[in-house]
Amino acid sequence: MTPSERQRLERLAGKWLEGSITPEEQEEFSAWYNRGQDLPAVIPPTSAECETEHREKILSGILHAMRRRKPVGWWKPGIAAALILVAVGYGVYLLFCEYQHRVNHAEIAIFNDIAPGTDKATLTFDDGRSVTLDEQQNGVLKFDGSVRIRKEDSMVVYETTDSEQEKTHYNIITTPRGGQYSLRLPDGSTVWLNAASSLRYPTTFTGSSRTVELRGEAFFDIVPFTASDKPGAGKIPFIVTVNGKQTVKVLGTRFNINGYEDELSVKTTLVEGSVEVSAQKGGSALLKPNQQSALTKTGKLTVTEDADLEEAIAWKNGQILFRDTDIRDIMRQIARWYDVDVVYQDDIPERLFNGGISRNSKLSSLLQILETSGIHFKVEGKQIIVTR
């Protein structure tokens, strides 16, 4: 199933659950569900018209079809079986198909709930002085006669008043765990920075390239840029170096880079335009929209043709989204966004999850969802203990 087919299924399933599905959509949903079935199932106009056992069978079929590969130990009778989260509009539907066990808040040992991350970051100027952005009022943060730096809510904005600087000055914006922030560069490009990330960049773009250095994760919306208004002036490429291991070269485009050091690979996902990804150890790839490159720690560069864009940029859109995602991958995201440490007490079996929830949700809400798989969590202070 392609990402677009999966997203279409999610929308239809969500509308079926809330009772807003049209007759045409209901026919499409039923046809999809019964594709390849020897004994077609009857799909009522709404889930409310289903008997419990029939509804569970339908939801089980949806979950089975949405998995790209068989998750180990995911569907077991006698345990809280399957969980499907279907995003519809701005809402999230949690569908619990349970046989003998229902998870509730009391079963998760949380002695103090933890709030999600917020808009916060530190800006370090070229002279070494730093400001905590979430403690600053809107307005001018610094003006040196050629560059004006302003804060506008959760964004830092650079305005160049004199592009003929004799020396290039660099600033660094850093988000902590539990933080995110956005930045408008002097060329008009916009960068959204995820938690536990940093970006080093010049306060003005001069010369033959616009080069920035990323650690962590960021979404880039890059505008075309020329050094001057003179006729024949060529466009200046925008270059992102990631952990000193990879460079991404573009002219004008929208893309996401996940370059966290604790991830298995550096992933570059292209939304619009084109980018050239080059590995330090050799090898390059020219990405087209909907493609994703992955650079492993050994230097191997691969390209996925039909990438899941929604999952790749979910964080920027205010969601935690996982599709066929291992519990350890999810816990790394949780650790960064909720500013917690994760400890595994047992040998946790492989489980693949499909679902999502708002990034504004408290930690207990997310853990309650994950507990339906049979994995258990205990939160003590800023530590999550994961057990079987």
Per-residue 3-state assignment (H helix, E strand, C coil) for 222-275:
ECCCECCCCCCCCECCEEEEECCCEEEEECCEEEEEEECCCCCEEEEEEEECCE
How much is the pLDDT for 71? 38
Distance CA 101, CA 120 (A): 40
Summarize pLDDT for 326-361 with one digit per residue, the tens. Answer: 999 999 999 999 999 999 998 888 778 888 888 999
Copy the structure tokens of residue 17: 């659950």
Determine whether 23 is exposed, middle or buried from the number of CB atoms within 10 Å of its CB (0-12, 13-18, 19+). exposed
Band of pLDDT at residue 249, cut at 50, 70 and 90: very high
Summarize pLDDT for 166-217 with one digit per residue, the tens. Answer: 678 999 999 999 999 999 999 999 999 999 999 999 999 887 889 999 999 9
Band of pLDDT at residue 27, cut at 50, 70 and 90: confident
Distance CA 41, CA 263 (A): 42
Question: Which has the minimum average pLDDT: 30-34, 56-60, 95-99, 310-314?
Answer: 95-99
Copy the structure tokens of residue 204: 């003005």
Q: Are 264 and 296 in contact (CB under 8 A)?
A: yes
With tokens 């539990």, the residue in question is 178
State the DSSP string of 80-117. Answer: --EEEEEEETTEEEEEEE-SS----GGGSEESS-----
Give residue 21's Cα distance to chain centre.
Answer: 29
Higher confidence at residue 5 or residue 245? 245
Q: Are 239 and 212 in contact (CB under 8 A)?
A: yes
Copy the structure tokens of residue 314: 């979910």
Q: What predicted TM-score, i.e. pTM, was given to this entire model?
A: 0.75
In eight-state DSSP terms, residue 195 is: S
Copy the structure tokens of residue 311: 């999952």
In eight-state DSSP terms, residue 211 is: E
State the DSSP string of 111-172. Answer: SS-----EE--EEE-TTS-EEEGGGSPSEEEEE-SSEEEEEETTEEEEEES-S--SS--EEE
Q: What are phi and psi for residue 30, nearest 5 degrees?
A: -65, -40
Determine whether 315 is exposed, middle or buried from the number of CB atoms within 10 Å of its CB (0-12, 13-18, 19+). buried
Summarize pLDDT for 62-83 with one digit per residue, the tens. Answer: 555 554 433 333 333 322 233 3
Is the four-CA dihedral 258, 263, 380, 100 of positive or negative sign? positive
Choose which CATH entry (2.60.120.1440, 3.30.160.100, 3.90.79.10, 3.40.50.1220) describes domain 118-312. Answer: 2.60.120.1440
To the nearest whole percent, how much of the chain has pLDDT over 90?
A: 51
Of 305, 322, 320, the C-alpha closest to 71 is 322
Q: SS3 of 333, please? A: helix
Copy the structure tokens of residue 361: 């949700």
Distance CA 175, CA 182 (A): 10
Of 160, 173, 60, 93, the C-alpha closest to 125 is 173
In eight-state DSSP terms, residue 372 is: G
How much is the pLDDT for 231? 52
Distance CA 47, CA 43 (A): 8
Residue 123 pLDDT exceeds 90: yes
Q: What are phi and psi for residue 56, nearest 5 degrees?
A: -65, -40
Of 193, 109, 111, 186, the C-alpha closest to 150 is 186
Residue-range domain boundaries for the chain: 118-312
Q: Are 238 and 210 in contact (CB under 8 A)?
A: yes
Higher confidence at residue 222 or residue 280? 222
